Amino acid sequence: MNRLNDTTLAALPASVARPAYDRRALKTGIVHLGIGAFMRAHMAAATEAAIAAGDMRWGIAGVSLRQPDTRDALAPQDGLYTLAIRDADAQGQPRQRLQVIGAVLRLLVAPENPQAVLEHIAAPDTRIVSLTVTEKGYCHDPATGALRLDHPDIVHDLAHPQAPRSAIGMLVYGLQLRHTLGHGPLTLMSLDNLPANGRVLRAAVLRFAEEIDSKLSLWIERQCCFPCSMVDRIVPKTTDADRAAVSAALGCADAWPVLGEPFFDWAIEDEFAADRPDWTLGGARFVPDAEPFERLKLRMVNGTHSSLAYLGAMAGWQTVDKAIAQPALRSHIEALMRDEIEPTLPALPGLDVATYRHNLLARYANPALAHRTHQIAMDGSQKLPQRLLGTLRDRLARQLPVTRMALGLATWMHYLRGVDEQGQAYRIDDPHAEALCTLYQQNLSQGVNTQSVDAMLAYAPVFGDLAGNATLTAALILLLQSLQTVGVAATLEAVNRGELTA
């Protein structure tokens, strides 16, 4: 089978959308750190629409911060890859729509050649550096948002300006080179699921720059822009079966296609130092303030995603669609949104939150995505502060019931035991895994009481000031005792009956 690349593009089936522009005429205006599946199915797809409309300034240089596998897969394909949009038809039959994306022109692997990354950031054609490095990639303290100067990667980068390994280090040394070369300001854009993601990035970059060169920090502060944005599209991990299915449909081999749902959302603050693509052509919208959109999405989508993921993983429901097909879980997630999350959200002009809720349940039910609950369960210590704890804090402060929110948190704690209800062991994928699993063994493996739950809540990197909150502790004790004795399904039934309320 031939390989997907510039020479085999023309021979693809007519049903496959593909670049109709001359890729050789594309300039590299965007450097993206963390070229993973999400960025390729989201920002790159929207950028493709802007390029297709004739703006040839926005080719992308994609940087892998750790592994060479994306480069190894896409470089032989001239950066081309397939986006497979998957859902089900009216009869519930899975279907897919294929589009070959041409926006990615170059693939870099930072550990192999960090200097090349800095040079791309400093290059005159570069106008935007965007990031999807996950919540843990900002080397910050999730509870405060501040850059951790004691973080091993930050300590390393402050001592090794030629070979930074953190995204923050790469950005600052790239900007330093750019400033030295006299090239213009840049827009630095976080596309990660963090509240005020642009401001978290700005604070981290300025704090690091302050450590190495206060004049540089001043230049960045005055000249560069850090727009906040809310990103939304469900993008499961690509499997070998997906590679085979997409390649068969193309009639040539694509080593790393990406999958996504039809739904797409991106609300971006229109604050750019050197222009930007017209991403509205790809479904994005520019807004004066992204904060209310972020809060809506982080609490409704990511909050329920995490709750569903831990409940599903512990019960042995391996994918989101299988989990939401359980009537008790579906009722719980619907009530969680309606009764506990929505009352904490600001009104958004033009948004009917009940419709948003129903659409989200339909997105979860999409049978064609096979989104694994264990994939979403990763990095709980980095995700829960903005997904669950913000809503919990707001409700506790207003003395409102927290049972359903607390069930998400209790199930995460339960998930730390590393074995599901079928006796299936799994790996806890989290930068704090060792400390958290030890905490679990010391405090929750032999039963649950006030001391044991307070000891869990005292883990400051995740919970900050939530330790010792009697209402939360009481709710968690009831829920954890139920999860440990009767399991997920019976606990859901009890919560839906209005029991287990502290």
Binding site for ligand CS2 (CB under 6 A): 193, 232-234, 301-302, 305, 375-376, 383
d(CA 51, CA 229): 21
Q: Which is nearer to ligand CS2, 38 or 459 (CB)?
A: 38
Q: How far is the CB of 121 from ligand CS2 (least distance, A)?
A: 26
CB of 135 to ligand CS2, least distance (A): 9
Contacts of 150 (CB under 8 A, 6+ apart): none
Per-residue buried b or exposed e for 299-329, using 16+ beta carbons within 10 Å of the residue's own CB: bbbbbbbbbbbbbbbbbbbbbbbbbbebebb
- Cα dist from 187 to 92, 107, 224, 308, whole Å: 43, 20, 6, 35
Q: What's the rounded Cα separation, in Å, for the pair 267 and 341?
A: 20
CB of 387 to ligand CS2, least distance (A): 8
DSSP states of 141-205 as a string? -TTT--B-TTSHHHHHHHH-TTS--SHHHHHHHHHHHHHHHTPPP-EEEE-SS-TTHHHHHHHHH
Residue 44 or residue 477: which is nearer to ligand CS2 going by CB? 44
Q: What is the distance between the terminal CA atoms of the chain, rounded to a whole angstrom?
A: 62
Matching residue, tokens 């209310």: 292
The residue number with the shortest CB distance to ligand CS2 is: 305
The smaller minimum CB distance to ligand CS2, of residues 185 and 236, is found at 236
To ligand CS2, the closest distance from the beta carbon of 407 in angstroms equals 17
* Rounded CA separation 145/16 (Å): 43
Residue 104 CB, shortest distance to ligand CS2, in Å, is 20
Nearest residue to 34 via CA among 67, 63, 61: 63
Quick one: 375 or 484, whose CB is closer to ligand CS2?
A: 375
- Closer Cβ to ligand CS2, 21 or 263, answer by number: 263
Rg, C-alpha atoms of the chain: 23
Measure the CA–CA gap between 258 and 373, rounded to whole angstroms. Answer: 18
Q: Which residues have C-beta within 8 Å of that of residue 349, sequence separation ≥ 6?
A: none
Contact status, residue 250 vs residue 11, Cβ threshold 8 Å? no
Residue (206 or 436) nearer to ligand CS2, CB = 436
- Nearest distance from C-beta of residue 228 to ligand CS2, angstroms: 15
CB of 368 to ligand CS2, least distance (A): 15
Q: What is the DSSP-derived secondary structure letter of residue 9?
A: G
Sheet holding 285-287, edge to edge: 229-232, 265-269, 285-287
State the nearest-atom distance from the C-beta of 408 to ligand CS2, in Å: 12
Give the integer Cα–Cα distance in Å for 260 and 83: 7
Q: Is 22 exposed, middle or buried (0-12, 13-18, 19+ CB in 10 A)?
A: exposed
User: Which lies closer to ligand CS2 via its Cβ, residue 375 or residue 496?
Assistant: 375
**Which lies closer to ligand CS2 via its Cβ, residue 85 or residue 118?**
85
By beta-carbon proximity to ligand CS2, the closer residue of 261 and 420 is 261
Minimum CB separation of residue 306 from ligand CS2 in Å reads: 6
CA 351 to chain centre: 23
Residue whose CB is less far from ligand CS2, 9 or 300: 300
Q: How far is the CB of 17 from ligand CS2 (least distance, A)?
A: 22
